[in-house]
């Protein structure tokens, strides 16, 4: 073997092999270098879904409305009651913060942890002190919700998935210098099983333990997120908590229309009934339109305008500080009854999102 042969072996032969490798390539004919490809899992998203908010800062405000309360003597559901306290609430509103941070985010599991804080301040038109204790309490201390939550999205295969959500909320008219007992922390959870038949549809069914209706409840839930073929129209439904239709005006502007049921149970520190804690079971239905607009990069503006319909603003007595379940059929008495007039509400916020 002469020098030329060696040179060929060391230099030209590998190039010749490379040339062969590229010859007559058709990508249909490509297969895995290993035995198998990566397993395909259902994505937590579908095309045309509204932006997923990692961090959101918003301000919520309601127009003036009338509030009426009974005295605190105990009432059965549907029982007539006399108005003991009555006033206009000139301002209701406050800050809302929400952070939802991925801890693990892979194609085979998404685990997020989050925290939220909302504050609602009430400005009551001349509450009459000891004669109107509930209105006075609302006027003097704002309602706060501080929560921690976790969400796990676990795809089982290309089509099916599970969602688990757990949340603990510390709600009341506390301030940062005057915390209430952490024994009053509220726990919520939801489990869903669902399918993602294609890139524009995901649905799921499940059950939840929730305070969305103000008091503790256990309700079935249905998720139905769908986007039309042209990716303009669609729905985002998590019934009964919220349901929206949507219309993508363009890639930077999304209109949504529908409702959300918002609620929580708040411990009121300055009031008691039979020596027991009182909980304000606050829930409201918010039919609305929402405008989501891309500001820059992954920062989006969200603005809502709608009506705030009262669902519950009654007070419950927690005997020995213990939570109870009334549900739709329970006959436990309310400590005090209420009526709130309907108001117009607006919300404006900025979010750091992922699409």
Partner 1 sequence: MKKNKSIVFVLASLFMLTSMVGDTTEEGDKLIGVWEPSNKKVKVKIDKISGKYYGKIVWLREPIDPVTGKPKTDKNNPDESLKDVPLKGFRMLKDFVYAGDGEWNDGTIYDPQNGSTYSCVIKLKDDNTLDIRGYIGVKTFGRTDVWKRLVMKKKKK
Partner 2 sequence: MVKFFRAIALIMTSSAILVSCGETELAAMKTQQIKIEVEGPLFEGVNTGTFDFNFQDVLPEGKQKEAVKEALLKSVKIIVDTAIFPVPSSFTLSLASPNTSMKECGFLNEAKLNSEGKFEIKLAKDQDFLSEVLQDKSQTIVIDFNIAEDWYDNYSIKAEIDWEIKLKK
Give the interface with partner 1 as residue ranges (CB under 8 A).
3, 6-7, 10, 21, 24-34, 36-41, 43, 47, 54, 101-102, 105-107, 110, 199, 229-230, 251, 298, 352, 354-355
∠ CA 326-330-333, nearest 5°, is 80
19 binds partner 2, rule: CB under 8 A: yes
Sheet strands (E) in 274-327? 276-296, 299-318
26 near partner 2, rule: CB under 8 A: yes
Gyration radius of the chain's alpha carbons: 28
Q: Give whichever of 29 and 331 is closer to partner 1, judged by the CB atom.
A: 29
**Site for partner 2 contains 296 (CB under 8 A):** no
Q: How far apart are CA 161 and CA 192, in angstroms?
A: 8
* Residue 19 contact partner, candidates partner 1, partner 2, none, CB within 5 to 8 A by sort of partner: partner 2
12 is written with which tokens?
């030209």
Looking only at residues 184 through 223 of this chain, which bind partner 2 when binding is defined by CB under 8 A? none
- Cβ of residue 202: shortest distance to partner 2, in angstroms? 32
Binder of partner 2 out of 10, 23, 230, 251 (CB under 8 A): 23
SS3 7: helix
Q: What is the nearest approach in angstroms of partner 2 to the Cβ of residue 28?
A: 10
H/E element, 345: strand 343-354
Tokens of 268: 């009121």
Q: Among partner 1, partner 2, none, what binds residue 239 when CB lies within 5 to 8 Å by partner kind?
A: none
Report whether 229 contacts 218 (CB < 8 A). no
Residue closest to 143 by CA, chosen among 94, 87, 215: 94
Q: Kindly indicate which of the ranges 15-23, 30-38, 61-69, 317-325 contains the residues binding partner 2, using the contact rule CB under 8 A.
A: 15-23
Token code pair at residue 157: 């295969």
Alpha-carbon distance of 321 to 182, in angstroms, equals 11
| Cβ neighbours around 245 below 10 Å, total | 15
Query: Which one, 38 or 130, has the nearer CB to partner 1?
Result: 38
Q: Name the residue nearer to partner 1 (CB basis): 15 or 229.
A: 229
- Distance separating alpha carbons of residues 66 and 254, to the nearest angstrom: 34
| Binding partner of 40, given partner 1, partner 2, none, CB within 5-8 angstroms per partner class | partner 1
Nearer to partner 1 by Cβ, of 102 and 166: the residue is 102
Which of 1, 3, 17, 25 is in the footprint of partner 2 by CB under 8 A? 25
Write out the DSSP string of 46-78: -TTPPPEEEEEEEEEEE--EEEEE--SS-B-TT
Q: Please give the DSSP secondary-structure letter assigned to residue 35.
A: S
H or E element that contains 210: strand 201-210
Closest to partner 2 by CB, 15 vs 38, is 15
Specify the residue, 6 or 59, whose C-beta has the smaller distance to partner 1: 6
Q: Which of partner 1, partner 2, none sits in contact with 207, Cβ below 5 to 8 A by type? A: none
17 binds, among partner 2, partner 1, none (CB under 5 to 8 A by kind): none
CB 83 within 8 A of CB 93: no
Q: How far is the CB of 27 from partner 2 (least distance, A)?
A: 7
Cβ closer to partner 2: 88 or 252? 252
Q: Which stretch binds partner 2 (CB under 8 A): 24-32, 34-42, 75-83, 89-97?
A: 24-32
Q: Which is nearer to partner 2, 29 or 331 (CB)?
A: 29
CA angle 84, 214, 121 (to 5 degrees): 65
Segment 143-172, which members bind partner 2 (CB under 8 A)?
Answer: none
Place of tokens 């941070």: 101
Q: Which residues bind partner 2 (CB under 8 A)?
A: 19, 22-27
């Amino acid at each position: 073997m002469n020098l030329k042969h060696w040179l060929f072996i060391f230099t030209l032969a590998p190039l010749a092999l490379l040339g062969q490798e590229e010859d007559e390539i058709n990508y249909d004919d490509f297969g895995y270098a290993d035995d198998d490809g990566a397993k395909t899992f259902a994505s937590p998203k579908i095309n045309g879904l509204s932006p997923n908010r990692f961090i959101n800062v918003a301000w919520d405000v309601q127009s003036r409305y009338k509030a009426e309360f009974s005295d605190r003597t105990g009432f059965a559901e549907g029982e007539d009651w006399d108005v003991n306290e009555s006033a206009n609430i000139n301002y209701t509103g406050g800050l809302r913060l929400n952070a939802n941070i991925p801890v693990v985010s892979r194609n085979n599991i998404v685990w997020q942890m989050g925290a939220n804080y909302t504050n609602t301040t009430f400005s009551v038109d001349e509450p009459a002190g000891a004669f109107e204790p509930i209105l006075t309490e609302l006027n003097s201390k704002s309602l706060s919700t501080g929560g921690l939550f976790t969400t796990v999205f676990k795809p089982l295969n290309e089509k099916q998935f599970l969602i688990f959500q757990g949340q603990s909320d510390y709600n009341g008219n506390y301030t940062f210098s005057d915390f209430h007992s952490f024994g009053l922390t509220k726990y919520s959870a939801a489990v869903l099983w669902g399918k993602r038949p294609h890139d524009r549809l995901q649905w799921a069914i499940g059950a939840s333990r929730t305070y969305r209706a103000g008091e503790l409840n256990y309700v079935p839930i249905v998720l139905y997120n769908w986007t039309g073929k042209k990716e303009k129209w669609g729905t985002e439904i998590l019934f009964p908590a919220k349901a929206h239709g949507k219309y993508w005006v363009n890639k930077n502007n999304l209109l949504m229309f529908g409702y959300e049921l918002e609620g929580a149970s708040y411990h009121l520190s300055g009031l008691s009934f039979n020596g027991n804690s009182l909980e304000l079971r606050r829930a409201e239905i918010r039919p609305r339109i929402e405008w989501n607009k891309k500001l820059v990069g992954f920062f989006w503006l969200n603005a809502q305008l709608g009506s705030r319909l009262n669902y519950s603003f009654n007070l419950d007595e927690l005997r020995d500080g213990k939570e109870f379940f009334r549900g739709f059929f329970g006959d436990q008495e309310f400590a005090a009854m209420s009526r709130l007039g309907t108001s117009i509400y607006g919300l404006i916020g900025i979010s750091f999102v992922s699409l």
